[in-house]
């Protein structure tokens, strides 16, 4: 009798453990990204627009911030212009890709054609336009875990471009919307957080 009670107690304990100790399986990154496309209008809606303009405020680890306007077209054209105060540490005022060629205009107004890793970076950024083209933009997408962002539970998704640069995005688990993102450059330890984004599709 005592032995049977002991066995039943052990079985009850083993059955109860997974209910509170076993973590839930995280969704695949593809499911999270496709859900974001769906809740923001759907792929068919995105395809109605040939280009988009993103106006964003970027803040670096040292607290300095600057405005950035980015034009991206589905045909691969891309142009970025920054509105930064002197001393912000940005070597360029404009840069982008036209006809498959990467270029840059410095803060002093000097224009040049980019080569090497700098060109690879700009060309990687020109892949795809719109949330529905995330597969073109990021060959690798992985769900890293869950984190609280402004008191909201979010999925953390790590996206890697063709040049190796990384973007980490945080998607609200309930709404599926993008909460925030961090941008990591190739070969650099510093990162920048992007916020206050505003999109215009044309």
Q: Report the pLDDT value the prediction gives residue 168, as an integer from 0 to 100.
A: 93
How many of the other CB atoms lie within 10 Å of CB of 102? 23
Q: Report the pLDDT value the prediction gives residue 82, as an integer from 0 to 100.
A: 86
pTM assigned to the model: 0.70
What are the mean pLDDT values of the chain's consecutive 10-residue runs (202 residues total)? 44 34 76 97 92 80 78 91 70 88 89 93 88 94 94 95 92 94 54 48 54
Q: Report the pLDDT value the prediction gives residue 201, as an integer from 0 to 100.
A: 56
**How many whole angstroms separate alpha carbon 74 and alpha carbon 140?**
20
Contacts within 8 Å (CB) and 24+ apart, 105-110: none
Q: Report the pLDDT value the prediction gives residue 102, as an integer from 0 to 100.
A: 95
Q: Exposed, middle or buried by CB within 10 Å (0-12, 13-18, 19+), for 84?
A: middle
Q: Report the pLDDT value the prediction gives residue 13, as an integer from 0 to 100.
A: 35
Point out which residues pair with 194 in neighbouring strands.
Answer: 58, 181
Q: Report the pLDDT value the prediction gives residue 202, as an integer from 0 to 100.
A: 53
**How many whole angstroms separate alpha carbon 50 and alpha carbon 201?**
8
CA of residue 152 relative to chain centroid, distance? 18
Point out which residues pair with 166 in neighbouring strands.
Answer: 160, 184
In order of start, what are the domains of the chain with their CATH numbers?
25-201 (2.50.20)
Tell me the three-class secondary structure of the chain, residue by residue.
CHHHHHHHHHHHHHHHHHHHHCCCCCCCHHHHHHHHHHHCCCHHHHCCCCEEEEEEEEEECCCCEEEEEEEEECCCCEEEEEECCCCCCCCEEEEEEECCEEEEEECCCCEEECCHHHHHHHHHHCCCCCHHHHHHHCCEEEEEEEEEECCEEEEEEEEECCCCCEEEEEEECCCCCEEEEEEECCCCCCEEEEEEEEEEEC
With beta carbons less than 8 A apart as the criterion, state whether 181 and 33 touch: no
pLDDT in tens, 16-36: 333 322 357 999 999 999 999
């Amino acid at each position: 009798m005592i032995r049977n009670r002991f066995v039943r107690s052990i079985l009850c304990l083993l059955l109860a453990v997974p209910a509170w100790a076993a973590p839930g399986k995280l969704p695949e990154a593809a499911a999270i990204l496709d859900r974001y496309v769906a809740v923001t209008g759907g792929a068919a809606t995105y395809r109605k627009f040939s280009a988009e303009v993103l106006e964003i405020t970027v803040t670096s680890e040292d607290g300095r911030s600057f405005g950035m306007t980015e034009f991206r077209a589905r045909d691969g054209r891309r142009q970025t212009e920054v509105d930064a105060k002197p001393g912000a540490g940005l070597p360029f005022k404009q840069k982008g890709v036209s006809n498959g060629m990467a270029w840059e205009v410095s803060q002093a107004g000097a224009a040049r054609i980019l080569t090497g890793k700098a060109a690879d970076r700009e060309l990687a950024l020109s892949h795809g336009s719109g949330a529905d083209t995330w597969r073109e933009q990021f060959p690798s997408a992985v769900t890293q875990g869950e984190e609280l962002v402004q008191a909201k539970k979010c999925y953390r998704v790590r996206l890697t471009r063709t040049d190796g640069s990384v973007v980490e995005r945080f998607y609200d688990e309930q709404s599926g919307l993008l909460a925030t993102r961090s941008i990591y450059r190739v070969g650099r330890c510093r990162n920048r957080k992007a916020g206050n984004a505003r999109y215009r599709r044309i």
